[in-house]
Structure 1
């Protein structure tokens, strides 16, 4: 009787997916990626240094504009007067009063609850919302209907359409074609995506209470969850933002303090549509674009349709996360 051999197809398939993703979309491999705080001058303007890494033997930095919250990747040759700081606390002292630090302080002040810590509501000048779409790990692909509905609704109103995508590493690796499709929407001028750190793995155990789940699970390697995702993003042509969303919107004060110590601004939501929360002017609306939340997607598309007249009168707009926060 022949011995039965355990199939290895799932493992081979995963390796093929990862290999295909890197071979089809990856940029040059980067090394020595780490937190590095400081300030520097770029083209006559002050910028914040948040990370440093090596690419093709040269040093690069992930920087942020303290006024606009826009991030950039710049080489050491492009920056002048680099002043390193030993910690986030030192950076905070030297950036006090900037839009970046105001937003980060606002997020920390709203971080007591177990659920939904961080900034949950924006401050637009007119009626409208800030749309955030979570891409948690899923065997299903991207719900592209969300994005085509957006670009159709705002075709002659807002171009590119601003949207924040909370990205996980496992979704990136499982759905490389979807990431490429999104990048093409950006390069064609249809979307303006703010890429939000949503951790590499997004661990979840349905048998555990919330206070011991997601990033609160014991032995979670927070450094890996945050920095490995940023590394993967940069290697594949995505630009990390200064924003972070907790998996499941679950955290505690200690975890919030640890995340802000990376220089990241936590965001929550006051309108998770699939949970029946209604969008109000200025809401940070949350839906999932990973195929696992059809109710939330349906509700958002219905919201778009209900505001159609206001959209065409430019009285109901979508706001860029970087301008909507305090």
Structure 2
């Protein structure tokens, strides 16, 4: 009898994980930037992408108030196509439009433009970890430690991961491990587009480096990363982080033209920047910046009692940005 119950339990878990998992889209065709209002029942979504897979047409949809995203079939919605300016006017009073507008107003800085902090209702931070191309394995301490610290007060624990196409291609085992943690409800990942190649030069000045390197195909860097996410069973978010946090005004407007919200940081731990209430914290989880990870673990340890008392929490990036503009 016990064996039968256990067997049924594992079947249930398998079904739960299958339902909870993001679908994997193979044979993606005609992946394009596409703006529209997509209505279903009383819900009005912003569409920012359209593509075909296995004979069906799908949309990448954004809930413009809560900043959630989802993939769904086009035929389930009443579609009103728009251009980008029209879509922004249509959703003018939403968190989405307000966040994009703020990012554009902060676009003149060569480094760390975009949304840098949120406005949580209680003391805490939003944790973001960048997965730039690296020959080193994923620094798994980040994920095991945050789960250990928060599992009794906040589960799943939210974290936002800025992922590159090259990292996904070269780290399939690490990616599978992260997806498993999410399926087990241990962490919840917001996947941020971090470009496909993340090129960097040790000699070029910032104004010619990273995505500002002459000849960069920004459309490829953005859209190929999203396609790689979908092929890997990841759900693209509405956020983008610049490699090296380097951009200029023209590049910012290019990214917002793709319908994405640039995300910066006000607390890059490896550079000695200390987080404040509401900070969007940056560490690197690709094994290249162990000092930042170590500093974050020390920060967690120093907040043990506050975490237990629910006085210091980790915030979902979407909620953090939404709170700033609601």
| TM-score after normalising by structure 1 | 0.91
**How far does residue 28 in structure 1 lie from its aligned partner after superposition?**
2.1
Q: Over aligned residues, Cα RMSD in angstroms?
A: 1.0
Specify the alignment match of 2:230 in structure 1.
234
**How far does residue 90 in structure 1 lie from its aligned partner after superposition?**
1.3
Specify the alignment match of 1:202 in structure 2.
198
2:101 corresponds, among 100, 105, 114, to 105
**How far does residue 94 in structure 1 lie from its aligned partner after superposition?**
0.7
Task: Work out the number of aligned pairs and report it.
Answer: 300
1:121 aligns with 2:122: no
**How far does residue 286 in structure 1 lie from its aligned partner after superposition?**
0.1
Q: How does 1:16-31 map to 2 (within 5 A)?
A: 27-31=25-29
1:142 aligns with 2:138: yes
Specify the alignment match of 1:4 in structure 2.
none
1:57 corresponds, among 55, 58, 62, to 55
Specify the alignment match of 2:277 in structure 1.
281
- Distance, in Å, in 2 between the alignment partners of 1:36 and 1:132 is 28
Q: How does 1:208-287 map to 2 (within 5 A)?
A: 208-287=204-283
Query: Unaligned regions of 5+ residues in structure 1, if any?
Result: 1-24
Contact 2:25 2:53 in 1 (8 A): no
Cα offsets for 1:224-258 (capped at 9, x unmatched):
00000000101111000000000000000010011
**How far does residue 107 in structure 1 lie from its aligned partner after superposition?**
1.4
**How far does residue 35 in structure 1 lie from its aligned partner after superposition?**
0.2
- Distance, in Å, in 2 between the alignment partners of 1:76 and 1:116 is 36
SS in 2 for 1:117: coil
**How far does residue 148 in structure 1 lie from its aligned partner after superposition?**
0.1
Specify the alignment match of 2:73 in structure 1.
75
- Distance, in Å, in 1 between the alignment partners of 2:120 and 2:161 is 19
- Distance, in Å, in 1 between the alignment partners of 2:41 and 2:236 is 21
Specify the alignment match of 2:314 in structure 1.
318
Contact 2:35 2:46 in 1 (8 A): yes
1:84 aligns with 2:81: yes
Runs (4+) of structure 1 exceeding 3 A deviation are none
Specify the alignment match of 2:155 in structure 1.
159
**How far does residue 143 in structure 1 lie from its aligned partner after superposition?**
0.4
1:303 corresponds, among 296, 299, 302, to 299
Specify the alignment match of 1:42 in structure 2.
40
**How far does residue 44 in structure 1 lie from its aligned partner after superposition?**
2.5
Contact 2:245 2:264 in 1 (8 A): yes
Moved more, 109-118 or 192-201: 109-118
SS in 2 for 1:39: strand
Specify the alignment match of 1:187 in structure 2.
183
Specify the alignment match of 2:8 in structure 1.
none
